[in-house]
Amino acid sequence: MRRPALISLALLAATALSASLSAAAPPPDPRPRIDWRPCSAAHHPELAKAGAECGKLAVPLDHAAPRGRTVDIAVSRIRATAAPAERRGILLANPGGPGGPGLDYPLSLRPVLGDVADRYDLIGFDPRFLGDSTPLACTPPAAPPAPVSGTRRQVFDATAASARDMAHRCGQPPGNTALLPHATSRNVARDMDAVRAALGEPSLSYYGVSYGADLGAVYTQLFPRRADRIVLDSGTDPSLTQYELFQATGPAAEAALDEWAAWTAARHGTYRLGRTAPRVRATVERLVTRAERRPLTIGDHTADASRLRLITHQLLQYEESDPALARIVRNLKDAADGHAVEPDPVLAQWLQLLGSPEADELFSVPSFTMCADGGWPAGGWPAGTDAYWRATQQSRATQPVFGPQANAISACTFWPVAPGDTGTAIGNDVPVLVLHATRDNNTPYAGGVALHRALRGSRLLNVDLRSHGVYANAVSGNNPVPCADEAVNTYLAGAPLPETDRTCRP
């Protein structure tokens, strides 16, 4: 069903005023406006250095009520430099999350885009309630997160209490409960289309990775005729609930751990963690089990099982991080064996962050969208917190390291407001280029295949790689995939989609 066109309050006022003016007065511009200014060198130095413009666009808080309350979306623009005949329009980008600000993101892609960047106005934006957009925040916790230990049930109960507390704090600030239901992916996609309309463009092109890919899929469903060149990198199965998506990461992370263990065993002389993959894996399992009962102390830092799982999973996302993870596990084993050790710099950085007040924001901000999109029914899923307890314990048989994390209870279970949406059923024939690494353990490959099937007009480009993200990997310091970079750039430059699905070699 087509939704009514967006009409700003400013436009309504201008229309009323024009009726009292002479007939010779020019008609008002029907588009919402962005008041462009040079980006702040203090807040966005790289954008300022690139000569980018920044501004804000007022969009409806509730797109179903376009004349109601508005919120601001922060937008950046780097103008195309190609000749008008070669210009292709606007290219928006989203770095994922949910919860990742994106005002600077297109600028980071510019080196990989190369000459293609000259043909587009590169548009960055902070999704609603993030970054420079209208803010939304939870009441800070009374103290930084403390390590959790004890019996398995005690650890679970403490995790559930923490999730309940976060949900309560996110509903505390005045006005939050009026905003939280509107932090949906559908609304972010509508905001993207409002940006397109404000720029006077008939369509938009887009690159999104991880959650950004899911967001792009929602856009194609809501605005299929306004989608030009769409590239979705490392998305998820659109038929699964939020909880099911988290559960799917458990087996994939265990497989990644096996792969890393084999790599590390082959380098026993360097890391001394075991000459076989099973021995290396056993070392990790023992560390996590011990940290559940009693957190490990490494220098001035403390690591409980939850933190060890999170850090290990983060490093397993990329093959390039294998040496860092091996150093960390060696470091942790020495500490567990009673040796006085200083933490590896990467480990120290992670533990400092996870034990700081800023850690709360790492988990609360993504919850805004995950909870608003639904998939975590209020009051417990499917029958109270005990269902989560059973899921975490049953998963240990095949997922001894990551099962409790992948099946954990969420703040969304106790969220102070009902979901603002029931999700978006994805199924269309919009031409889309879908990218996915076959050994992605954050958004498993099966999800990318399911997204490709739902987007019937898409082509899938896969690469046999352990990586979360395929295009522009060099931006994050990982090894590039030249085949994928070339395919994306060729498509964005105007070439048709590949005739068939393709496999790239890393």
* Through-space distance between the first and last CA atoms of the chain, rounded to whole angstroms: 42
Q: Is 168 one of the catalytic residues? A: no
How long, in residues, is the chain?
506
Q: Are 296 and 307 in contact (CB under 8 A)?
A: no
Catalytic annotation, pick one of 193, 301, 468, 485: 468
Alpha carbons 298 and 165: distance in angstroms, whole number: 28
Element (H, E) at 11: helix 9-18
Longest Cα pair distance anywhere in the chain, in angstroms? Answer: 87
Catalytic annotation, pick one of 440, 458, 467, 485: 440
Structure tokens at 368: 């805004």
Alpha carbons 219 and 174: distance in angstroms, whole number: 31
Residue with tokens 């950004």: 212
Question: For residue 474, which phi and psi values (nearest 5 degrees)?
Answer: -65, -25
Q: Is 210 one of the catalytic residues? A: yes
Q: Is 464 one of the catalytic residues? A: no
Residue 416: name the closest of 221, 47, 139, 215 by CA. 139
From residue 260, give the alpha-carbon distance in Å to each of 250, 318, 320, 335.
Answer: 15, 10, 11, 21
Per-residue b/e over 233-245, b at no fewer than 16 CB within 10 Å? Answer: bbbbbbebbbbeb
Catalytic annotation, pick one of 149, 210, 410, 458: 210
Alpha carbons 307 and 350: distance in angstroms, whole number: 9
Alpha carbons 286 and 323: distance in angstroms, whole number: 20
Q: Are 341 and 430 in contact (CB under 8 A)?
A: no
Catalytic (active-site) positions: 210, 440, 468
